[in-house]
Structure 1
Amino acid sequence: MTDSRFALYISIASLVTFLIVAFFRKEGKTEIHKPVAEQMQPIAFKNAKTIPIPEKIDLAGENVPLEIDDVKERLDKELHINSYWHNNTIFLFKRANRWFPVIEPILAEYGIPDDFKYLALIESGLENVDSYAGAAGFWQILKSTGREYGLEINRDVDQRYDPVLSTRAACKYLKRSYAKFEDWTLVAASYNRGMRGMQNALDNQKVDNFYDLMLNDETSRYVFRILAIKQIFESPESYGLDIVKEHLYEPFVYRYDTVRNSIDWVDYAKAQGTTYKTLRIYNPWIQDDDIRIGRDDYYVMSLPATN
């Protein structure tokens, strides 16, 4: 092969290679080098829209001053969070259907406004949970506070987990707080911050109401979380929630038995025709497998009603 023919073949091969590369660059690689943000397709969120703020709202009959910009915005934030936090809010409705019939008459008995049932709802979701600070039960009561208001707390028993007795203890605190502040909104805030802490904030900032206070984020949000849940519970359809009553948890139906002697709970449950697990569900204040009962002491046990 002559040098001239070899050079011609090389030229033709180079041209073909160039055309092939150019073709594939045009047809196949252009999109690959686009920025990631340009490649992503927009996601269509159905029913995601801004939520209107009510023209008027109150807590325990006390008006919320929505004409104050930051007050309106703080309520706005909590309404959106709880409206679009669907799984959590739906389960609040489910548990409330079981436990509000227990809580509401106790609040009424102590003269506490019915709106305070929502305080328990935001404290625990009406679950017997424990906090990092050592608070426990529906009302998130500390050991020292529980004992102060008459709850038994020891190795065998922790009545902070008893829905009835813990509600009574919370009512005693709320009643005492109202005697101090004569303002239910401050009472609600004091449940989070403490009566002394709330009074110190009022004195230091020289104001006389919750909505004029500059507080830490937790306490600042606290009242607005109650307000938002109240608003959503009173009109769930307005906040995009389709609550089917048949899907809610039914209240427990009880029968009662009095225990006066030390006992093994597993054996007791079996003798009552139930299981230890069910006994603990119906009596969450039980803390151990057995209990030591003094000569003059006794416990009233809640058991599943029998037909």
Structure 2
Amino acid sequence: MADLDTRTPFEMTYNPVVKKYLERYLKFGAKRLSRMMAHGQYYFPMFEEHLDKYNMPLEIKYLAVIESALNPKARSYVGATGLWQFMYSTGKMYDLTVNSYVDDRNDPLKSTEAACQYMLKMYDVFEDWNLVLAAYNSGPGNVRKAIRKSGGKRSYWEIRPFLPRETSAYVPLFIAATYAMEYGHLYGVGPSEVPAYYIDTDTVRITQQIHFKQMEDELGIDPATMEFLNPQYRYKIVPFVTNKDYFIT
């Protein structure tokens, strides 16, 4: 953990709380961790490109591990969805289209852009990446409240007792996920096999309404592959709207 701490602006503290979550990944969740490592081979280069564009810590890519287990169609019990688990209202604030056919919260590229913009906004407020994570989980209001209750402390670990229960576990979980994804190989955990189509992809603009099944019939592309790579299309249909561009990967 000390080596990881020297390579990131996050405060990578190792304590009994972090140890508990780390064991959950490495001892009891190795199969799930292996699957996320495999999906990371497709998603992480995409995340890193956006994070680098905004000069943000590249380790933020692991936030999607704890948010969605790198499942672009993951949906929480409160209605948050996508790799970065945007609620409807937050998604609309960052120009993510949500309608009967399209949910951009499930679009890997657009939701990653929105997540970067949101976290940058939080960093402008708190100037601490651990507090940005806490704000991402529970909202900036709860972080400000915890800072006030702590007597003005600005460290996550100092305000942690005053945060909501879920958020008090959030940063330890992030630290554990980051370590597990970076060093899981030292514990015999590696990525499961990734089909080639996860890696060798391109993006094209669609100029007419089309169903994924048509692509199978005309181009021989498996609809399941199309659905995995384009999870934002709710009914496997790419709509056509005048003066609106839609793309598929």
C-alpha deviation, 1:266, in angstroms = 2.9
1:85-104 mapped onto 2 (5 Å cutoff):
85=28, 86-104=30-48
C-alpha deviation, 1:137, in angstroms = 0.9
1:193-204 mapped onto 2 (5 Å cutoff):
193-204=138-149
1:1-307 mapped onto 2 (5 Å cutoff):
54-55=1-2, 58=5, 60-64=8-12, 72-85=15-28, 86-127=30-71, 128-206=73-151, 207-213=153-159, 214=161, 215-238=163-186, 240-243=187-190, 247-248=193-194, 250=196, 251-302=198-249
Aligned-partner residue type, residue 112 of structure 2: T
Segments of structure 1 that go 5 or more residues without pairing to the other structure are 1-53, 67-71, 303-307
Would the alpha carbon gap of residues 133 and 60 (structure 1) be closer, same or farther in structure 2, given more than 3 Å must change?
Answer: farther
Question: Secondary structure, in 3 states, of the residue corresponding to 1:254?
Answer: coil
Q: Deviations over 1:2-32 (max 9, x none)?
A: xxxxxxxxxxxxxxxxxxxxxxxxxxxxxxx
2 CA distance for matches of 1:276 and 1:57?
40
Question: Secondary structure, in 3 states, of the residue corresponding to 1:235?
Answer: helix
Aligned-residue sequence identity (percent) comes to: 28
1 CA distance for matches of 2:203 and 2:2?
47
Question: Secondary structure, in 3 states, of the residue corresponding to 2:84?
Answer: coil
Aligned-partner residue type, residue 222 of structure 1: Y
Q: Deviations over 1:99-155 (max 9, x none)?
A: 112211111112221010110111111012111010111111111111111111110
Contact 2:34 2:189 in 1 (8 A): no
Contact 1:260 1:297 in 2 (8 A): no
Aligned-partner residue type, residue 138 of structure 2: R
Would the alpha carbon gap of residues 92 and 294 (structure 1) be closer, same or farther in structure 2, given more than 3 Å must change?
Answer: closer
Aligned to 1:4: none
Segments of structure 2 that go 5 or more residues without pairing to the other structure are none
Aligned-partner residue type, residue 158 of structure 2: D
TM-score using structure 2 length: 0.87
1 CA distance for matches of 2:77 and 2:206?
33
Q: Deviations over 1:261-286 (max 9, x none)?
A: 33444335533442433322221111
2 CA distance for matches of 1:262 and 1:109?
33
Would the alpha carbon gap of residues 265 and 203 (structure 1) be closer, same or farther in structure 2, given more than 3 Å must change?
Answer: same
Greater CA drift, 201-210 or 229-238: 229-238
2 CA distance for matches of 1:88 and 1:289?
27
Would the alpha carbon gap of residues 170 and 270 (structure 1) be closer, same or farther in structure 2, given more than 3 Å must change?
Answer: same
Would the alpha carbon gap of residues 228 and 296 (structure 1) be closer, same or farther in structure 2, given more than 3 Å must change?
Answer: same
Would the alpha carbon gap of residues 275 and 231 (structure 1) be closer, same or farther in structure 2, given more than 3 Å must change?
Answer: closer
2 CA distance for matches of 1:139 and 1:160?
8
Aligned-partner residue type, residue 233 of structure 2: I
Aligned-partner residue type, residue 186 of structure 1: L
C-alpha deviation, 1:289, in angstroms = 4.7
CA RMSD, 1 decimal: 2.2
2 CA distance for matches of 1:246 and 1:154?
35
Would the alpha carbon gap of residues 259 and 247 (structure 1) be closer, same or farther in structure 2, given more than 3 Å must change?
Answer: closer
Which has the bigger relative contact order, CA under 8 A and spacing at least 6? 2
TM-score using structure 1 length: 0.72
